[in-house]
């Protein structure tokens, strides 16, 4: 008898969580729709995109020949 009660209780719980999941999905859909309308009308600004952790460096790199010539020139100046 105890196992039947546990089995019945287990069957009842997913039905309740299914209802909650439906409500959560509906709330997300409504929220996203309201957000897009607010952005299009100008009431709110769209969320900014996240910047990655590894940002590319903006420094220029010399081509090989120029780099070698610069290296030779600095070596001669150091003598």
At residue 19, the pLDDT reads: 81
Which tokens is 63 given?
Answer: 């081509």
Supply the pLDDT for residue 3.
60
pLDDT given for residue 1 in this prediction: 47
Tokens of 53: 């952790």
Name the residue with tokens 């409504």. 30
Q: How confident is the model at residue 79 (pLDDT cuts 50, 70, 90)?
A: confident
Is 54 inside any structural domain? no
Say if residues 39 and 45 touch (Cβ distance below 8 Å).
yes
Quick one: pLDDT band at residue 62, thresholds 50, 70, 90?
low
Total domains in the chain come to 1
Indicate whether 61 belongs to any domain.
no
Q: Is residue 74 part of a domain?
A: no
Give residue 22's Cα distance to chain centre: 24
Q: What is the pLDDT of residues 13-58, one digit of tens each?
A: 554 557 889 999 999 999 999 989 998 998 888 778 887 788 777 7
| Residue 63 located in a structural domain | no
Task: Indicate whether 53 belongs to any domain.
Answer: no
Q: Which domain covers residue 1, as residue numbers?
A: 1-47
- Is residue 29, in this structure, part of any structural domain at all? yes
Q: Higher pLDDT residue, 70 or 55?
A: 70
Summary count for the chain: helices (H), strands (E)? 2, 0
């Amino acid at each position: 008898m105890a196992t039947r009660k546990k089995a019945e209780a287990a069957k009842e719980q997913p039905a309740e969580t299914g209802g909650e999941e439906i409500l959560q999905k509906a709330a997300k859909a409504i929220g996203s729709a309201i957000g897009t309308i607010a952005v299009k009308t100008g009431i709110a600004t769209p969320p900014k995109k996240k910047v990655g952790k590894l940002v590319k460096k903006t420094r220029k790199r010399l081509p090989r020949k120029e780099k070698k010539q610069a290296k030779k020139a600095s070596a001669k100046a150091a003598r």
